[in-house]
Structure 1
Amino acid sequence: MSWSVTTPPSEEPVTLTEAKLHLRVDTDMTDDDPLITSLIQAAREHVEAACQRALMPQVWTERRTSFPGTPTCPSIPGSPYGYLRVPSLAQQTILLSGGKVRAVDSVKYVDDTGTLQTLDPAAYDADLTSEPAQVAPAYGTSWPATREQPGAVQVQYQVGYADANSIPAALKAAVLLVLADLYANREAVVNGPVMSNPALSRLLDPYKRVLP
């Protein structure tokens, strides 16, 4: 299983004004504005990677080699191997990465002829209130058979908090801490003792999640 950012966020969780206030840079000093703007993005991406959680609204695509719980061979009546056991719903459930999922845009799969198909939304149920969000076949059904190849199943979904105001204060504070560190240390090598800020870990730890 792998995922990629299909559509990156159009805004950052911290504005340039908020960043300059935290960095103690006068608002009328604009020489560093392009640098600070780029570092805001870098700080946000650092926090997202550390927590495995999207902050601002964005679109992710998750790719799998097959649907979970899908039998790899057909059930053949009368065969010496008997019938294949039908996987349980839990075994067929897809757990989506990224934290707060707001919508599932599409579920696509490569069928046994090599054609990319889009699954009818009525063919699956999505629980977006849980975290991680869950996508499973509709009641009484199973996932369709897929060709065995990388990326045979592609789930595209909207992930991230609704807007900057919806992001927990701890995560915004973490972005500002990372931003200040990047702004103060602009070289690959730092002279003198290097000390980590324990506050950063305490801010991030409650929001870190293990990928399914």
Structure 2
Amino acid sequence: MTIVVTDPAVGEALTLAEARTHLRVETDLEDGLIESLIRVAREHLESATGLVLLDQGFRLFLDDWPKAHAILLRRHPVTRLDAVIVYDADGLPEEVDLASVRLDRTRRPARLIVAAIKAPARIVNGIEVEFRAGFGESGADVPDVLKRAMFTHVAAMYELRSGVPIGQQPALVPDGYDRLIAPWRRRSL
């Protein structure tokens, strides 16, 4: 199972102006660095939680239908199912009628329930599921507690800016960060 981004987010969950205000930076001399730290903080938060902060498109590749008839869409919150495609013996795509599948968005991770659907003839990546996920199109749609976690993370990385290159960030997760994101973390048994 592989998931790729097909339509990346436009912008970030925190704006440069918000981050500069939080950091009490009054000049634009380090804007490039601050923008990089915002991106690193978002990527870290999304990786730790499985969340998608801003609206994005995804494509999930599967070799075959799962035995339990439930495909886990490991991005949250899923907002829309766009297509389910099965490849035939000639390698041609055939769209599945979306009325024959059910998207369960209340569960986390969201799952796609499939009934008896034609098996793919292509051995590798014979099934593609296209969907969208994210809290919304701007940082205003992102829950405040997640933005607060990002602010604290950006501030901690900014403090270490002279000792840790941006390519090695995040070098530090600040105190309290884990408590802020705890309700959003992925849980498994």
TM-score range, shorter chain: 0.7 to 0.9
The 8 Å contact of residues 52 and 76 in structure 2, kept in 1 or not, is answered as: yes
CA shift at 1:195, angstroms?
7.1
Superposition map of 1:151-166 within 5 A: 151-162=125-136, 163-166=138-141
TM-score normalized by the length of structure 2: 0.85
Superposition map of 1:52-67 within 5 A: 52-67=50-65
User: What per-residue deviation string (whole Å, max 9, x for no partner) do you get for residues 67-95 of structure 1?
Assistant: 112xxxxxxxxxxxxxxxxxxxxx10212
* Larger strand share, 1 or 2: 2
Indicate the SS of the match to 2:132.
Answer: strand
Structure 2 partner of 1:6: 6
Indicate the SS of the match to 1:198.
Answer: coil
2:44 is equivalent to residue 46 of structure 1:
yes
2:120 is equivalent to residue 146 of structure 1:
yes
The 8 Å contact of residues 105 and 156 in structure 1, kept in 2 or not, is answered as: yes
Please give the alpha-carbon distance, in whole angstroms, between the structure 2 residues aligned to 1:210 and 1:195. 23
The 8 Å contact of residues 14 and 147 in structure 2, kept in 1 or not, is answered as: yes
Residue 96 of structure 2 aligns with an amino acid whose one-letter code is L
Indicate the SS of the match to 2:176.
Answer: helix
- The percentage of counterpart residues that share the same residue type is 31
Structure 1 partner of 2:75: 98
CA shift at 1:196, angstroms?
5.0
Please give the alpha-carbon distance, in whole angstroms, between the structure 2 residues aligned to 1:182 and 1:5. 26
Please give the alpha-carbon distance, in whole angstroms, between the structure 2 residues aligned to 1:147 and 1:106. 18
Q: Cα RMSD between the aligned structures?
A: 2.1
CA shift at 1:181, angstroms?
2.4
What are the ranges of 5 or more consecutive residues in structure 2 without an aligned counterpart?
166-170
Aligned length: 181
Runs of 4+ residues deviating >3 angstroms? none
Structure 2 partner of 1:185: 160
Q: Which structure: larger Rg?
A: 1
Q: 1:205 aligns with which of 177, 182, 189?
A: 182
User: What per-residue deviation string (whole Å, max 9, x for no partner) do you get for residues 5-55 of structure 1?
Assistant: 1111102111111101111111xx112122212221221111101112111
User: What per-residue deviation string (whole Å, max 9, x for no partner) do you get for residues 119-160 of structure 1?
Assistant: 2222322223333222123xxx41211125232111111101
Indicate the SS of the match to 1:108.
Answer: strand
Structure 2 partner of 1:31: 29
Indicate the SS of the match to 2:48.
Answer: helix
Indicate the SS of the match to 1:179.
Answer: helix
Please give the alpha-carbon distance, in whole angstroms, between the structure 2 residues aligned to 1:150 and 1:188. 41
Structure 2 partner of 1:84: none
CA shift at 1:99, angstroms?
1.1
CA shift at 1:210, angstroms?
4.6
Structure 2 partner of 1:170: 145
What are the ranges of 5 or more consecutive residues in structure 1 without an aligned counterpart?
70-90
